[in-house]
Amino acid sequence: MAVIALAGCNGAPGVTTSALALLLSWPLDPGRRMILAECDPDGGAVLHGLLQGTLGDRYGLRNLSVAARRHEFSDAFWRQLIDLSSEDGKKDSPRDRLLLPGITDPVQAASLGSVWKILGQMFRGIESQTSHDVLIDLGRRGASGPSGILAEQADAVFVVVRNTMRGLQAAQGRVRTLEEQVGDVSVVMINEGPYPTGEVQRVLQVPVVATLPYAPKDARVLSDGAEQPRHFTKSPLMKAARTAATLLIQRAAMRRARLNPHEARRAGGEVTHAR
């Protein structure tokens, strides 16, 4: 199991859409589950994007601040998760692809000061004690400031970068800052621009681990709740996301093994039970 964080750059949107594509494509063996947590202090996008406001604000990160003060965080966390399993084309809902929606207004981030650390501990506990992988959407700013502890505690941090001039310019500073903060980072590249993988790696001096196609029509299904075209799960975007998910898992496992070999061996051989 792994805890993986995605971070973005100014002027280069695409983190949440990429995270949703990964969530719905994540390879799940029997009994294995996946949680995507929207932890962008600037506000989440899924409640009013993919879900089109149908659930109001009954679910989400903001509700956990009260639970933390009441020492009811663990139980409250599980109640805040939305089941997106049916979004991947399955008729039944096995609750194996879950979403923790983000805040709906950046003002709400002020109440989450104590939540970020508890949430990071929760993610580590879920990862080590159950069969859940955790993907954290940190948005453009969430990898720094109080919520930056989530990046520091993740098994691996990936910066979502578009291979345009504007995207690379924005990514250079973000990558350097994150390297100082967490040690090493990698890139998930959205292939919108003219620069090939090798050039992106040369400019940013970090590896490009996975590539997603620039597919605005398919992306709008995830970002804005647009009507899902036929065979959406077999679209180039979703196929690439399945490949990317496997590569991200492998990268996270390699980094964990390098930083903490004993823990990596223990996690690899542990029999876990999902909640």
Digit-coded pLDDT (tens) for 6-26: 999 886 679 999 999 999 999
C-beta of residue 124 within 8 angstroms of C-beta of residue 3: yes
Predicted TM-score of the model (pTM): 0.90
What is the distance between the alpha carbons of residues 130 and 249, in angstroms, rounded to a whole number? 16
The position carrying tokens 């964080």 is 5
d(CA 17, CA 224): 9
Tell me the C-alpha distance between 141 and 149, whole Å: 12
Which letter does DSSP use for residue 102 in this model?
-
Residue 93 pLDDT: 55
Give pLDDT tens digits for 186-215.
999 999 999 999 999 999 999 999 999 999
pLDDT at 75 over 60: yes
Question: What does the pLDDT read at residue 131?
Answer: 79
Q: Which fold has domain 3-38+115-268?
A: Rossmann fold (3.40.50)
- Domain ranges across the chain: 3-38+115-268
**For 56-70, 91-105, 151-165, 247-261, which range has the lowest pLDDT when averaged over its residues?**
91-105
Q: Are 100 and 37 in contact (CB under 8 A)?
A: yes
For residue 135, count CB atoms less than 10 angstroms from its CB and return exposed for 0-12, middle for 13-18, buried for 19 or more: buried
pLDDT at 264 over 50: no
